[in-house]
Amino acid sequence: MASRHIETWNQCLGVIKDNTSEESFDTWFRPIKPISLENDVLTIQVPSQFFYEWLEDKYIDLLKKTIKKVIGPFGKLEYSVLMDSSDKSVTIKMPSSDYVETKNPLGRPHSEIPSDAPINPFIIPGLKKLQIDPQLNENYTFDNFIEGDCNRVARQGGLEVAKNPGKTAFNPLLIYSSTGLGKTHLCHAIGLEVKRLHPEKTVLYVQAEQFINQYVTASRDKNLNNFVHFYQMIDVLIIDDIQFLAKKTMTQEAFFHIFNYLHQNNKQLVITSDKLPADLQDMEKRLLSRFIWGLTAELQMPDINTRLAILKHKLYTNGIVLSDEVVDYLATNIRTNVRELEGVLISLVAQASLNKKTITLDLAKQTIDRFIRSYVKEVSVEYIINIVCDYFNIPVDNLSLNTRKHQVVQTRQVAMYMAKKYSNASLASIGKQCGNKDHATVHHACKTVSDRLDTDKQFKRMLDDIEKKILG
The item of ligand ADP, Mg ion, none sharing an interface with residue 179, based on CB under 5 to 8 Å by kind, is: ligand ADP
Q: Is residue 184 a contact point for Mg ion (CB under 5 A)?
A: yes
**339 sits near ligand ADP (criterion: CB under 6 A):** yes
Site residue total, ligand ADP (CB under 6 A) = 16
Stretch that binds ligand ADP, among 31-39, 165-173, 174-182, 390-398 (CB under 6 A): 174-182
Least Cβ distance, residue 120 to ligand ADP (angstroms):
31
Closest approach of Mg ion to the CB of residue 179, in Å: 7
Report the residue number, 199 or 319, with the smaller CB distance to ligand ADP. Answer: 319
Select from 81, 327, 338, 445 the one that contacts ligand ADP (CB under 6 A). 338
Which partner in Mg ion, ligand ADP, none is near 168 (CB below 5 to 8 A by kind)? Answer: none
User: Binds 49, which of ligand ADP, Mg ion, none (CB < 5 to 8 A, cut-off by type)?
Assistant: none
Q: Is 182 in the site for ligand ADP (CB under 6 A)?
A: yes
Stretch in the footprint of Mg ion (CB under 5 A) among 29-37, 175-183, 300-308, 451-459: 175-183
User: Least distance from C-beta 137 to Mg ion, angstroms?
Assistant: 11
Q: Contact letters (x/-) for Mg ion, 411-430, by CB under 5 A?
A: --------------------
Among 342, 391, 396, 459, binds ligand ADP (CB under 6 A): 342
Residues 83-142 that bind ligand ADP (CB under 6 A): none
| Dist. CA 293–CA 268, nearest whole Å | 12
Q: How far is the CB of 183 from Mg ion (least distance, A)?
A: 5
Rounded-to-integer distance, Cα 329 and Cα 358, Å: 16
CB of residue 305 to ligand ADP, shortest distance in Å: 12
Which residue lies nearest ligand ADP, judged by its C-beta? 182
Footprint on this chain of ligand ADP (rule: CB under 6 A)? 144-146, 151, 177, 179-185, 310, 338-339, 342
